[in-house]
Structure 1
Amino acid sequence: MRIAHISDTHITNEGAFKGYAYDLIVEEINRGNFDFVIHTGDITNQGLREEYEQAAYQLKKIKKPLVVLPGNHDVRNVGYKLFEEFIGPLNGVYEFKEGVVIWVDSTIPDLSDGRIGGNKFRWLKETLEEYSDRKFKIVAAHHHLVPLPDTGRERNVLFNAGDVLDLLLRNEVTLYTCGHKHVPNVYRVEDLVIDNAGCTSCRKTRRGDVNSYNIIELHEDGSVRVNIRRVTGDEIEKEHSPIKPKIFVPGGRRVLRIVQVSESNVSDRIYFRKRTLDNVIRMINERLKPDLVVHNGDVVDAGIERYYDKAYGYYKSLSAPKIVVPGHNDITYLGYELFQEYFGEPEILELNGVVIIPVLSAQYETPIGVVGRMGQRKLRRILEEYEGKFRIVAMHHNVIPIPKSREIGFLEDAGDVLKVLTEERTELVLTGHGGNAYGVKIENTPIVNAGSVSWELHRNPFGNSFNLIDIYTDMVVVWEVQSTWGSKKLLGIWKRKS
């Protein structure tokens, strides 16, 4: 099965539309042996009637079966009404041999942001269940699902990207295909391939790139190959084969045990659960006995001395060594100075052949974090320096979407940071923002987020929790541990790269 994926044509009578690039790509698609074409939105530039009239004419040039869905530009000026008139339904299903494409409208009128929420989320869930027997399940939407590199400030990922990602993984979706940011990119998240198309015929390309489209191949063995093809003829190819086996049994010697906590938010407020944190400290010291404790930020609820004094009393009682990275709450008010005074500057630690690299992402008076271009270069340099060892990067802000958490607390440069982490094949990334525990593997890099250990205002149905991470010679096993009862559930298990 061979699919052409185009996006962001931005058809208009104005200068944004590059008609020659569109015609070149369409001609190539028509000559090629494609089974069908997916257009993931921003067909028009402003959602105007005259643009839809032109778009309807331009789309007829494609002589293959065509699936088209709306983008944020298409729903401007109440363009979603015109989309249904000139193009087709906003949501729908396209069946093909051994597979199905489920497309869903992720747009919000007059905003660049996206969301698959409420009724559309339930419809997507029910439709995936209806077609659960299909070998290939493709979900198509306009907005991107994980942060993308080379796109500037991260701000338009789906608001509920974590819930959508979790839904796709649970339903063993083969491919999520999207556009929106005008940058072609392919990531593998566990067994899900996320395919972003660049812009087919818009002048607004990023970092001097050219127009492009993606070629998707679905093979009988379940593998997926994506070829990013630019109008210049340059090509980048990525292939993913299904993970086999999917269930592992930990083996070999345990190298290191880590307890990962976050969002203790020590304070005088009623939301701080003092007894819960007391119980966790006792559990760590008496039962779990880790080699290291990593706190991924928001140690205190606000950066004042009284809260820091209380927090220091808790964490100094831990018998294991500690690495504490600041969260955004920790550096409010006088917190920047107080964090240094009580916990010091987090430094690189090497323990049993494992290197833990702390990264500072918190900024004054805002939940949004940034590593920065200088910080990214420094991180890459450190990862290269310790190549060959098991490298763990610890930071506060999450670089992947977290279920049940609206994505407003991302790193603003999450896409570029994620690119550094995956390109350097970082062995493990620990984060702690969003109030919910989650773990997935992107490319070759497992990323694990800790929930709130002792703060009542969390988003975790499992309750307050922390993570227990056992690193073996051949595998990494992560358990989520309930803070009150000590019950555990498996958060993730991944083979270590050879």
Structure 2
Amino acid sequence: MGMIRIAHISDTHITNEGAFKGYAFDLIVEEINRGNFDFVIHTGDITNQGLREEYEQAAYQLKKIQKPLVVLPGNHDVRNVGYKLFEDFIGPLNGVYEFRDGVVIWVDSTIPDLSDGRIGGHKFRWLKERLEEYSDRRFKIVAAHHHLVPLPDTGRERNVLFNAGDVLDLLLRHGVTLYTCGHKHVPNVYRVEDLIIDNAGCTSCKKTRKGDVNSYNIIELYDDGRVRVTIRRVTGDEITKEHKPVKPKIFVPSGRRLFRIVQMSESNVSDRVYFRRKTLENVVRMINERLRPDLVVHNGDMVDAGIERYYERAYEYYKLVKPQKILVPGHNDITYLGHELFQEYFGEPEVLELGDIVIIPVLSAQYETPIGVVGRMGQKKLRNTLREYEGKFRIVVMHHNVIPVPKSREIGFLEDAGDVLKVLTDEGTELVLTGHGGNAFGVKIENTPIVNAGSVSWELHRNPFGNSFNLVDIYTDMVVVWEVQSTWGSRKLLGIWKRKKH
């Protein structure tokens, strides 16, 4: 069986100062030169400060690699107007590399003098055009510097790709095989639907995380569609993950429906003009008369501000909802007196056990900021609770999204999203429901479907479908999620995922 083998290096941080570990670079380069690699991808931060003397040294060091080499810029490379020097010493900032049955499309995600990233405007359109141009290729690889989904063990979630949700959506729509990146100095591999997201650690920089050592990744693409990624550390330790694309892509539920959930968010009840009172009243009628779910989940921002007048109004609306409810506070809910008022009107959310279905609420909202946090103690509690109910269908409910949402500016809204996402996927959580960002989106990461609700009745949303809520149907063999338009009740499929076997 044929196979393409790629070495993925990143974050070399070449400099005359102490940040660069020359011996680690030489050791990895020697392994690559001896190995049967078809080519090498370097996903940025070649230099440490983007200075001319560093680029001169980098050009010399990179010549040691005796394989075809794709190199793209990182945030450190564009410091001090280093993007001009990158083109002089390294090559184009964006480009295409073709190989047998495949293509690498690399794109500059850097913003001068910022650690954050963006693939916006012209570059986003350019990337879309290239994906359309090479749509017939069996293997489509997109390479950029910045990470696409939150990573564990990186400290506070920041320096993100501002339009990560749009980029993720674009890659999924175009059947991209692999997104390869660096930036956070942590090696990691996630499967998002059939897209592999491959983060390299740092090849030759002293700044590793939690005492880790330097590493690089080995990517193997097989003719039958399998993708295997191996994280190889300079100590010789290896971790390998393999994925085979799911076929067929369309499923029809064959078992009976066990449970139905209406998931909503951002009702933002208030007396402001942006609150669509009639829309929320219509949704309440739909829930009671037509949909008749077993449970209603509200993922936060029930009110626009934490004042008693708004809570009184919200209580009047939601007491009309007949099915059982579980409500978690969003950041708007706990502004001003909201922390006390939420508990007074709706109570503290607690674990809800309904036969084989267990709903686990997670509190992430903080006072007076849209930035959320679960915290190290909260993560430990979440992991223990998931393990306590192992064997049941566990649904984690929280306000802040743990995956980027299309059409919103990602600024690391959950500051420990990487570690929280790791807990959720490590424990094989059956379903995660979130509600921040004003747009509906659903993807499966590893074995865990993660579904974000749009705004149910607030005019300031980001959803072309309009105000909406989600209808989650759990069958014996799969989970089906529909997005339902709040005014008309029309539906569109948001996601359908096979259930894992216990």
Interval of TM-score (by shorter of Structure 1 and Structure 2)? over 0.9
The letter for the 2-side match of 1:494 is: W
**Among candidates 164, 168, 171, match of residue 165 of structure 1:** 168
Whole-angstrom distance in 1 between the partners of 2:286 and 2:19 = 60
Whether the 8 Å contact between 1:397 and 1:409 is mirrored in structure 2 is no
Output one character per residue of 1:120-169: Cα deviation in whole Å (capped at 9) or x when no partner: 00000000000000000000000000000000000112000000000000
Question: Residues 151 and 183 of structure 1 are in contact (CA less than 8 Å); yes or no, is this contact kept in structure 2?
Answer: yes
Deviation at 1:407, TM superposition (A): 0.6
* Alpha-carbon distance in structure 1 between the residues aligned to 2:413 and 2:186: 19
1:403 corresponds to: 406
Q: What is the distance in 2 between the residues matched to 1:255 and 1:283?
A: 20
Please report the TM-score for the alignment, with normalisation by the length of structure 2. Answer: 0.99
Aligned residues of 1:409 and 1:433 also touching (Cα < 8 A): no
Unaligned runs of 5+ in 1: none
Q: Any conservation in 2 of the 1:409–1:434 contact (CA below 8 Å)? A: no
Matches within 5 A, 1:483-498: 483-498=486-501
CA distance in 2, matches of 1:292, 1:316: 14
Equivalent-residue separation in structure 2 for 1:469 and 1:207 (angstroms): 39
Instruction: Read off the aligned partner of 1:440 and give its amino acid letter.
Output: V
> Partners of 1:492 and 1:148 in 2: how far apart?
23
Aligned to 2:109: 106
Contact 2:189 2:196 in 1 (8 A): yes
Partner SS state of residue 495, structure 2: strand
**Matching residue of 1:213:** 216
**Partner of residue 378, structure 2:** 375
1:341 matched residue in structure 2: 344
Q: What is the Cα deviation at residue 341 of structure 1?
A: 0.1
Structure 1 CA distance for aligned equivalents of residues 417 and 196 of structure 2: 19
Which of 72, 76, 80 lines up with 1:77 in the alignment? Answer: 80
Residue 408 of structure 1: CA displacement? 2.1
Alpha-carbon distance between aligned partners in 1 of 2:343 and 2:461, rounded to the nearest angstrom? 27
Q: Per the alignment, do residues 111 and 428 of structure 1 end up closer, same or farther by CA in structure 2, a change over 3 Å counting?
A: same
Cα distance in 1 between the residues matched to 2:158 and 2:490:
36
Aligned position for 2:31: 28
Q: How does 1:283-362 map to 2 (within 5 A)?
A: 283-362=286-365
Mapping 1:75-154, distance limit 5 Å:
75-154=78-157
Distance 1:18 1:408 in 2: 32
Confirm or deny: 8 A CA contact 1:358 1:394 kept in the other structure: yes
Select which of 224, 227, 231 maps to 2:227. Answer: 224
1:410 to partner: Cα distance: 2.0
Q: Which residue of 1 aligns with 2:457?
A: 454
> Contact 2:160/2:411 (CA < 8 Å) preserved in 1?
no
Amino acid at match of 1:285: N
Q: Say if 2:19 is the partner of 1:16.
A: yes
**Residues 367, 409 of structure 1: 8 Å contact kept:** no
Contact 1:163 1:403 in 2 (8 A): yes
Answer yes or no: is the 8 Å Cα contact 2:110–2:118 preserved in 1: yes
Q: TM-score, normalised by structure 1?
A: 1.00
1:412 to 2:415 alignment: yes
Moved over 2 A (4+): none
1:282 correspondence with 2:301: no
Could you list the per-position Cα deviations for residues 365-408 of structure 1 after superposition, in whole angstroms to 9, with x for gaps in the alignment?
00000000000000000000000000000000000000001012
Unaligned runs of 5+ in 2: none
Residue 55 of structure 1: SS of its match in structure 2? helix
Secondary structure in structure 1 of the residue aligned to 2:115:
coil
State the percentage of identical aligned residues: 88
Find out whether 1:176 has 2:179 as its counterpart: yes
Aligned partner letter, 2:165: G
Deviation per residue, 1:185-207 (Å, 9 max, x gap): 00000000000000000000000
Instruction: Give the number of aligned pairs.
Output: 498
